[in-house]
Structure 1
Amino acid sequence: MNEVKHDVKIRKITIEDLPHVVVIENESFKSPWKKRDFLHDLLKNSFSHYLVIEKDGEVAGYCGVWIVLESAQITNIAISPKHRGHQLGKKLFKEVLDTIREQGATELSLEVRESNEVAQNMYQQFGLEVVGRRRHYYQDDGEDALVMWVKL
């Protein structure tokens, strides 16, 4: 049996990607960002960088990061539910780390839901460690966020 090869590509986001990104955002989060939030980041925030990952020509996920001097902060990352379980998040995160380094940042932080063990495990594979907790961080249900950090 021949194994099916899938074409996976990671690239900078375009405005044309936003409808797909918003769908993935809504499928992935209880309190999703709105299209206007992404537009503001893309058009008016000079610290903002976004990448999308495509699988077979379809936007399968995205990641946003703010880079200010030596500090980078992941704003959001999501893979479409139908594309989960194929290591796309890991590929995308690795590319984001490369972008962060290219921009001169030397540290990365992010917040992750305390209950999101899948994401936490992936981040730990890249050297991130839990360094703090933001109590009742998520407004939709009051769940705590774990703050994860790594020196690049």
Structure 2
Amino acid sequence: METAYTIRKMEKSDLDQVHEIEQLSFTVPWSKESLLYEIEQNLFAKYMVVELEGKVVGYCGVWVIMEDAQITNIAVHPDFRGMKIGEALLTFAIQLSKEMNAKRLSLEVRVTNYIAQSLYKKVGFTVGGIRKRYYTDNQEDALVMWVNVQ
């Protein structure tokens, strides 16, 4: 049985739930203030949430600058992982990037995050490079992954 959820634009009222997901998902989470800036002031940013039965269970941020789009962050609440919500968010981000005339969409992922890498590859991302010592918490390298959206 499939669960019905909605993907919609992130609103200020979603910040507490999004920040909770951020804290549960990342070792160096973004602050509420940073997330608020993204949705209210960053003209290049597009943020979306996944809502399930009135609860925000995932979110994704994309910056679109000319022909390039970048996923800034994407996360699903741990209690809702494995339900294809992350895949739906990625597919939505690809479509959004295409609609905004970007030619490619990129993201960074920890070299040890094999689960995320597998998901990204499933929707068409390929490894395009590496950023040495990218993550500030442990100096871990990041893979740069790309997908053409046009």
**So what's the TM-score if we normalise by structure 2?**
0.96
What is the CA-CA distance between 1:7 and the residue it aligns to? 2.4
Aligned partners of 1:63 and 1:134: how far apart in 2? 21
Report 1:1-152 matches (<5 A). 3=1, 6-152=3-149
Equivalent residues of 2:105, 2:146 under 8 A apart: yes
Count of equivalent residues: 149
Instruction: Give 3-state SS (helix, strand or coil) of 1:45's partner.
Output: coil
Equivalent residues of 1:106, 1:151 under 8 A apart: yes
Aligned partners of 2:94 and 2:105: how far apart in 1? 9
Equivalent residues of 1:111, 1:148 under 8 A apart: yes
RMSD over aligned CA atoms reads 1.0
Which sits farther off after the overlay, 23-32 or 38-47? 38-47
Which sits farther off after the overlay, 117-126 or 25-34? 117-126
The gaps in structure 1 that reach 5 residues or longer are: none
Aligned partners of 2:4 and 2:124: how far apart in 1? 28
Equivalent residues of 1:7, 1:57 under 8 A apart: no
Instruction: Give 3-state SS (helix, strand or coil) of 2:102's partner.
Output: coil
Aligned partners of 1:100 and 1:132: how far apart in 2? 21
> Which residue identity does 2:143 align to in structure 1?
L
Aligned partners of 1:99 and 1:151: how far apart in 2? 13
Moved over 4 A (4+): none
Equivalent residues of 1:53, 1:59 under 8 A apart: yes
